[in-house]
A = this chain, B = another copy of it.
């Protein structure tokens, strides 16, 4: 290489979720070295994670190796390593074993569960953000029924078979609906000493209605659909305490061995890494071009970024928003690398909202188009299969859903990484 030749700019992207991957792909023709760093080896399709947690799909159905997705993008290198911090003065990303230099940095590190200051609840009320979270929740749901069957003391069975889901957003209603399906249909005839249909499933939402992102009449529909499926829905009910035997709410105590947390998220520590201004959820307040004020070559996107839409509402923390931000930032960097200016601000386009309650009932809101019931479910299924990465995954998921639609069966009812059931608590 000629010593006078300008060095190829280095773009580092931390996090290979929807935003980070989209940014990498948008840089595919840029004359730059792109390095994607993630602590996992796989991109996870989070909207279907609850189906792994409820034994409908296998982990490999909703996840795909990052380096395989980018294998044909010759300017992209993938490193599997946890990131420990950012040195904006030296322009390096500090990982477990390296200091990776950057000219442009994209932080797309996502969000994690927020227990609103009660991090000790995490041990008894797991949240659902990663494949490992999903298999952990799957294990605890399935073990609950297994333990109820072996328990000599029938008095404990009720508590063992009570499932509390905290949070009435999309993840919460999807988990509640799926657990109801498991208890009422999948496992209905598999036990001899207990009747899985007697399981109690309680969805607790602090606000006045479930699915607050949707119009009120959709919330009403979802609530009725959940109740028909056998879920108790409690709104305007804040959880004040979680422990290993149940939850306290403003409306009283619920004894339950199984608590699933779907109530809140907080951003990953990107704001600390950058020493940047953050909102209450820890998201970095970014400039209109998604860069960090004071660091024009550092961008924050997806669930880690806080930015307002034109109407003053925040850009929502959903997959399409992360993808749009990733694509935008990838193009901004590609333009700058090519010596072009790029000063159009980011603009979010809201395409719609989807959520599913159980087999045969979903809600879809796309502008003025609203679908519910079976048609909604069909639309929801097709949309999710379409956006899955990899033709094999699409095909396997389609077949698996069709199969379970016909049989009510869930093919991934495995209790793994656990040689024996947990000790009596």
Contact = CB atoms under 8 A, between A and B. Distances in A.
A416 interface: yes
A58 interface: yes
A142 B399 CA distance: 28
A65 interface: yes
Given A150-B80, A150-B98, A39 B414 contact: no
A11 interface: no
Interface string A62-85: 010101100110001111111000
A67 B410 CA distance: 13
Oligomeric state, in copies = 2
B68 A190 contact: yes
Given A392-B411, A413-B41, A190 B58 contact: no
A114 interface: no
A360 interface: no
Contact of A131 (B60, B77, B414): B414
A59 interface: yes
Q: Is the interface on chain A under 10, 10 to 19, 20 to 34, or 35 or more residues?
A: 35 or more
A77 B146 CA distance: 11
A41 B414 contact: yes
Contacts of A149: 77-80
29 contacts: A41-B142, A41-B414, A42-B415, A58-B58, A58-B59, A60-B414, A65-B414, A67-B190, A67-B191, A68-B409, A68-B413, A77-B149, A77-B192, A77-B193, A78-B192, A79-B149, A81-B150, A81-B420, A81-B421, A82-B419, A82-B421, A131-B416, A135-B417, A392-B409, A392-B411, A396-B396, A396-B399, A396-B411, A399-B399
